Structure 1
Amino acid sequence: MGCGQSTSASPVVAEQNGQISEESASKKVYDDRITLPNNQKFRITVSPASTVIDDEGAARARSAGVNPQDDCQQRPKTGEEGEFEQPEAEFDGGNLGLNNVEEVPRLLDSLPEGQLYEDAEFPAEDSSLYFSSRSTGDEVVWKRPHELAENAQLFVEGVSRRDVVQGVLGDCWFLSSCCAIAKEAKLIERVVPPNQPLSGDGYHGCVRFSFWRFGDWVDVYIDDRLPTKNGALFNAKCVDPNEFWVALLEKAYAKLHGSYEALEGGQAMDALVDLTGGLAERFDLAEHDQSYLFRHLYKSTVAGAFITCSRKGDWREANKADELGLVQGHAYTVTGLARPQHQTLGRPRLVRIRNPWADHVEWNGAWSDSDERWSGVDEVTRGRLGVTSLADGEFWMEFSDFCAQFEEASVCTLGPDYDNDGRVDHVGQVQQIRGEWVPGKNAGGSRNNFEKFATNPQYLLTVVDPTPDETDDDDSDKVPVLVTLMQEYRRSQRQFGIKMAQIGFLVYKVDNPIQRVPQKHFMYHYEDASSGTYINYREVAARLELKPGHYVVIPATFAPETPGHFMLRVFSAGNFTLKQLPDA
């Protein structure tokens, strides 16, 4: 079956005055399954097309067999994809950018006096700028920070979201993520360790960074030579000409990807995870009730989450804003949400956005910097919200306009938010297991072939009886669990990206915790939950509320015989165990 939007599992739900009724939804079954809406507390998973089976539907499935007709889809384009598409290759070690980590400290100690470090793995050459035949057309001169500023430093008076300024590179997905986490200095300093001089005593011309990569924090070393034209940086930089953490961080991230050009067209939620090690989720704005979404984003902001957003379009045609002051194919940072009291408009829902261009290109519609509506908000409140008329790329807009103009929002928390209330919940346990799909052995693909599907890796998740403080009043017998499946994405060669398969996972409740779930079970039982339609994201997730018992989690690619490495992560505020069942 080809990739596309599935028509066999379309949800059927009822509405009451524009709201979905839990009672009516629980009675509606399509193709013997039920899908709960994503804006309700009782939703099983945040992923689209997720399913949960009621007892009546499960009984019919057991008597008549099932016909799941699994489907897949391609990851949507970001609009920032480069002019040239980078070729892809299979995973082969994933050590790009890390090969010299142990050797660099020894090399620095042995440098002759007056000689500065030069990174042979990411040299000051065009090969570090581009993977394609693309050329700047001008002479590029690589210069060190102390050659560009009189008082070059990594940080000048701390860290701020206003530090980040995008250059000519189409990597606003990464820079908007940097801007988002810049509100927490400790997080930036974990990625960019402070006290690394860019001149004077202790200066070697080398800077160390740390990124979260497939379950581990790893160090990346670069030299501090930066590409310039006419004596100025043309990629990302800081507002203060003496500050260089943004430019050097972008270079380190480019090294992990093989070149600067390879940074064009990524996903903000991936960058957020790489910078924090947290959990990132994507929300398609058109698919969610605006009241629910505003409440979720507001609570997430209060709880310290990091949020980015993006618009559709082609960034190559986005060298100027549209008539509303917004840029197509562009990623922004959400820096605040509020409901201020207005003299005549009540308490409008507002959201504050920052363009990483950090200039005059700003929204000029309702609630923009100079909009007359602000005159109805008292001066103290305006000051608290930071309402200014500066040409700094930051602006307020009404939330309804935000949902109309932007396509998606990515939210990253440093711990799982089990109950979807925007607050990071206490984590009782976090476990992760790495695995591999091996063709001819356990790369079974989707349920479109039950025999092959039964060969996929299987993991036993045992949920223990909850204690009173692990539950809420509504579901006292259930334990919130968050399951994520991440596929290998670390690059091995500079000129190649990594092939990303359509991935997903299914969850089945079982009675026998010792044996694998056999093929016959899948033929007569629907899943109890899933991550949704198979898609070639780096990571997919599902929120579950599970009664105590045994469950089998089955990670799979859509196409059978697809090789790949993966990591299964399980988070819960309650007690659970996770282990792999023997291969078939």
Structure 2
Amino acid sequence: KSAECNTKDIKFKDTDWTLDGEKAILDANKVDKSVVVEIIRISDFIRNPIFFINDDFPGELKQGGLGDCWFLAALAAIEDFPRVIKSIAVARDEINGIYGFVFFIKNNWVGTIVDDYVFVKQNGHYYFSECTCRRETWASLLEKAYAKVYGGYEKLKGGHVGEAFENLSGQTRVVYNCSDILTSQTKKDALWESLLGRMNHHIGFGCETYPKPSNGVNKGPDGLILGHVYSVIRAVRFKPSNALNVQLVEVRNPWAHAEFTLSWNDKDTISWKPGYATKLQHSLDDDGSFFMTYDDFLTHFKRIESCAFQFAGECYEVFSDPLDFPDRKQTITHDKLPPVVYIYHSFTG
């Protein structure tokens, strides 16, 4: 496509999947036309757009006028894993507006290409998702490509974050019901030590709130949006002055605003003593990111979904209970992984 565009001296346009066609928007009347000005190339309304401003740190995203928090929460959870995003966004020609992506859909890797046409609102923002710095385009274009392989933007309304993780990684999600974890201190400790503590090692986490009640209330008394999906950014042990260590979980709302309002919320001056935010490298602005205690995290969210993002050439440790002699046979199973080599060793003593 790039060569063809260069030869003809034209930019790429995906004529098979245009934003004004039924394939992209199944019901165009559901797009709020009062705020949409036009369908336009990113380069025609954003000055000097770029896919990544910083290749090592993809910019934060913000959800737009589509109920795909489950997908955007998955993307936000892996923002700190640039290698993961680059493995999905496999090719691009920004001059000609051509972007190639791959997703794991129905047990197969599916490739697709999109152009850089987007819906634009009257205020100059994208109608669907965008990065908090609008010059950065990766989130908008990745969402567009995902909508294309899913059959349209409307197909992205409602879903589970674990499904998005699977589509982005080719791996299998793990689901934890928070009410079950809370029944056992052993389970709480195991989840913290084995999973949340390894969050920075290419493991993505998302969490879902409880559904909206029949009266249609959108926000709970804790400030969390009901029936919504959040990203889990990190888990830390923090030692406040003259106090015991506290287990904290940083969570992010893909709306990029509307935060938790109980203990350790960004306006909680009792918890946030001077200097704490600097130590935790956390902004107290209303940007959608907030901390909460581990217990509050398990209490106020309904379930957690996680997925490992694995690459060929990397090493992963597998721990198991010791095998009783003389039974030396052990079975390790895997599915949808890259080619791997298992090294088995044992010791006595």
The TM tier, using the shorter chain, reads: 0.7 to 0.9
Cα deviations by residue, 1:135-176 (Å, 9 ceiling, x for unpaired) = 224155111111121111111123646521000101011101
Alignment length (residue pairs):
332
Aligned partner of 1:367 in structure 2 is 264
Shift of 1:253: 0.3
Distance in 1 separating the partners of 2:217 and 2:105: 33
Distance in 1, Cα, partners of 2:199 & 2:337: 27
Q: Which residue of 1 aligns with 2:249?
A: 351
Q: Which residue of 2 aligns with 1:260?
A: 153
- 1:279 and 1:414 in contact (8 A); partners too: no
1:283 to 2:176 alignment: yes
Decide whether the 8 Å contact of 2:67 with 2:158 is kept in 1.
yes
**Contact 2:174–2:307 (CA under 8 A) maintained in structure 1:** yes
How big is each residue's C-alpha offset from its partner over 1:532-584, in whole Å with a ceiling of 9 and x where there is no partner?
xxxxxxxxxxxxxxxxxxxxxxxxxxxxxxxxxxx899989468xxxxxxxxx
2:72 corresponds to which of 146, 170, 175: 175
Counterpart of 2:246 in 1: which secondary structure? coil
The 5-angstrom pairing of residues 46-61 of structure 1 reads none
SS at match of 2:244: coil
Of 189, 202, 221, the match for 2:86: 189
Deviations 1:467-495 (A, max 9, x none): xxx865466745352455xxxxxxxxxxx
TM-score, structure 1 length as denominator? 0.51
The superposition leaves residues 490-540 of structure 1 with CA deviations (integer Å, 9 ceiling, x where unpaired) of xxxxxxxxxxxxxxxxxxxxxxxxxxxxxxxxxxxxxxxxxxxxxxxxxxx
2:281 aligned residue: 386
SS at match of 1:209: strand
Alignment of 1:472-511 (within 5 A): 473=322, 477=328, 479=330, 481-482=332-333
Answer yes or no: is 1:295 the counterpart of 2:190: no
From the superposition, tell whether residues 156 and 172 of structure 1 become closer, same or farther in structure 2 (CA, over 3 Å). same
| 1:164 corresponding residue in structure 2 | 61
Q: CA deviation at 1:263?
A: 0.5
Counterpart in the other structure of 1:321 = 219
Alignment pair present for 1:239 and 2:132: yes
Q: How far apart in 1 are the matches of 2:49 and 2:337?
A: 43
CA positional deviation for 1:234? 1.3
Q: Report runs of 4+ in structure 1 exceeding 4 Å deviation.
A: 104-107, 159-162, 314-320, 567-575
1:131 aligns with 2:26: yes
Of 325, 335, 352 in structure 1, the residue corresponding to residue 233 of structure 2 is 335
Question: Does structure 1 conserve the Cα–Cα contact (< 8 Å) formed by 2:197 and 2:236?
Answer: no
Q: Mark the CA change 1:237 to 1:212 in structure 2 (over 3 Å): closer, same or farther.
A: same
SS at match of 2:22: helix
What CA distance in whole angstroms lies between the structure 1 residues aligned with 2:45 and 2:300? 39
Q: Is the contact made by 2:207 and 2:230 (CA closer than 8 Å) also made in structure 1?
A: yes
1: distance between equivalents of 2:206 and 2:46? 31
Q: In the aligned structure 2, how far is the partner of 1:162 from the partner of 1:404?
A: 30
CA RMSD in angstroms comes to 3.3
CA contact (8 A) 1:311 1:407 kept: yes
Q: Return the alpha-carbon distance in structure 1 between the equivalents of residues 320 and 73 of structure 2.
A: 36
Q: Which residue of 1 aligns with 2:209?
A: 311
Quick one: which amino acid aligns to residue 31 of structure 2? T
Identity %: 24
- Aligned partner of 1:395 among 290, 296, 299: 290
| Distance (whole Å) between structure 1 residues aligned to residue 66 and residue 214 of structure 2 | 10
> Kindly tell me: are residues 346 and 293 of structure 1, through their superposed partners in 2, closer, same or farther at Cα, counting changes over 3 Å?
same
Q: Is the 8 A contact 2:12 2:115 kept in 1?
A: yes
Q: Which has the larger radius of gyration?
A: 1
State whether residues 154 and 194 of structure 1, in contact with CA within 8 Å, keep that contact through their aligned partners in structure 2: no
The answer (yes or no) to whether the contact 1:298–1:337 under 8 Å persists in 2 is: yes
Structure 1 position 260, deviation (Å): 0.5
Kindly provide the amino acid, as one letter, of the partner of residue 389 in structure 1: L
Moved more, 121-130 or 222-231: 121-130
Q: Is the 8 A contact 2:208 2:302 kept in 1?
A: yes
Q: 1:341 to 1:266 in 2, by over 3 A?
A: same
SS of equivalent to 2:48 = coil
**Cα distance in 1 for residues equivalent to 2:71 and 2:160:** 8
Unaligned runs of 5+ in 1: 1-103, 198-202, 417-423, 428-469, 485-566, 576-584
Q: 1:475 to 1:265 in 2, by over 3 A?
A: farther
Call closer, same or farther: CA 1:473–1:568 in 2, change over 3 Å: closer
Pair 1:425 & 2:316 matched: yes
